[in-house]
């Protein structure tokens, strides 16, 4: 069995995501993006500003590299997925990576050397174009009629297609790890 390393979005979501997944994981760890960025008191737009207009993302990436992820699968929500992706580019070892609504990944031009899955809401104006989906991640899915933050409900709902897709990717990734 493997471990899950979950990184929150700018609002601290998700508190209970890992416990609700229907996968075999020996343990999971939720890391809050605000704490990783060095500003644990920030949330929402203030944290977003710190991450992308100041040095918050650099701090978060460094903190993730120090946490380590060997034998872990990373799951990041929105900016948390961007932080995980960048930490992998800078040496964080993960078995696989799932980024949910991590729209800043649209600026990435090269795939990572590991199994990756990205998911988007169709109505998210900042999601990358389909050509990006075909070139950078190994797997991707766009959820019809969904906004950027669709995952806040879908990741916790018991009959969620998002949860089911994530569980399948995790099981597939760890079968070959």
Structure letter (DSSP) for residue 128: P
What are the tens digits of pLDDT across the range 126-168? Answer: 999 999 999 999 999 999 999 999 999 888 887 889 988 988 8
Q: What is the CATH number of the domain that holds 98?
A: 3.40.50.1820
Question: Does the pLDDT of residue 52 top 90, yes or no?
Answer: yes
Residue 106 near residue 132 (C-beta atoms within 8 A): yes
Residue 29 is predicted with a pLDDT of 84
- Tell me which residue range forms the domain holding 144: 2-175
Pairing of strands 72-77, 96-100: parallel
What are the tens digits of pLDDT across the range 56-85? Answer: 999 999 999 998 767 789 999 999 999 999
User: What is the tally of structural domains in the chain?
Assistant: 1
Single pTM value for the model: 0.92
Question: Does the pLDDT of residue 26 top 90, yes or no?
Answer: no
């Amino acid at each position: 069995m493997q471990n899950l390393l979950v990184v929150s979005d700018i609002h601290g979501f998700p508190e209970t995501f890992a416990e609700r997944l229907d996968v075999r994981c020996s343990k999971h760890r939720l890391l809050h993006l605000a704490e990783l960025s060095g500003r644990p008191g920030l949330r929402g737009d203030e944290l977003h500003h710190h991450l992308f207009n100041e040095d918050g993302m650099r701090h978060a990436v460094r903190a993730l590299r120090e946490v380590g992820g060997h034998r872990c699968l990373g799951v990041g929500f929105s900016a948390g997925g961007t932080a995980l992706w960048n930490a992998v580019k800078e040496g964080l070892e993960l078995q696989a990576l799932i980024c949910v609504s991590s729209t800043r990944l649209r600026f990435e031009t090269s795939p990572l050397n590991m199994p990756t899955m990205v998911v988007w809401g169709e109505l998210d104006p900042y999601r990358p174009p389909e050509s990006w989906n075909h070139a950078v991640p190994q797997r991707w899915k766009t959820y019809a009629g969904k906004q950027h933050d669709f995952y806040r409900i879908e990741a916790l709902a018991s009959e969620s297609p998002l949860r089911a897709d994530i569980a399948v990717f995790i099981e597939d990734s760890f079968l070959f790890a």
